[in-house]
Each structure stands twice: as structure tokens, then as C-alpha cells.
Structure 1
Amino acid sequence: MSGVEKTIIPMTKEAAARIQSDAARNHKETGFEARAQAAADKNANEVAKEG
């Protein structure tokens, strides 16, 4: 994958909520929704500390 630049976009609370909502609607429990929420919380806390 040389020459391909990856952009890292931090997980937001809104994105985590969409993931959880989709998992609930489709009866999919993979554990990813919990990890997404944890990442969103961590990112929100880091932003709060900076600002």
C-alpha cells in the first residue's frame, strides 16, 4: 500500500451512537459497539482536557 495516505478520524459520540443503534436494530452484538463507545468517551475526555 505504498503511496496511500491514511487519515485517522477519531471516534465521536455521535458515530458511536450510530454504531450502537445499527447493532441494536439488526440484533448484532459483536462487542465493537462497546469499544466504539469507550473510544468516543476517551476522545471526548481528551478534548475536554485540552480546551
Structure 2
Amino acid sequence: MTKHTPWDKEAAARVRSAVATHPDCPSARDGLDREAQSQADKNEHQDDDC
């Protein structure tokens, strides 16, 4: 079973960088960079609420 780690801003930045470097990769075509940033933003706001 895999471990689930919520997206954070650093992870989202790594994905965006990889997508910018390799725009034809499957992650770029799937929009993973946008999804990662969206989830990181959501997780950051949830942490602020505590």
C-alpha cells in the first residue's frame, strides 16, 4: 500500500519545474502541475484554519 502525502508548495514547485523542462511528458499533458498547485493551495489554507 502506498503512503499518501498531501501536496505542499515545495512539491508543487518541483512538478511545475519538471513540466516546464519536459512539456511533452505525460504529467504535463495531464495537467498535473495545475492540480498539484491547486491541492497545495487548498492544503495550505486548511492548515491556516487550525
The TM-score with structure 1 as length reference comes to 0.78
Aligned alpha-carbon RMSD (Å): 1.2
After the TM superposition, which segments of 4 or more aligned residues of structure 1 sit over 2 Å from their partners? Answer: none
For structure 2, list consecutive stretches of 5 or more residues without a partner in the other structure: none
TM-score normalised by structure 2 residue count: 0.80
**Which structure features the higher share of helix residues?**
2
1:40 matched to 2:36? The reply is: no
The higher radius of gyration belongs to: 1
Aligned-pair identity (%): 35
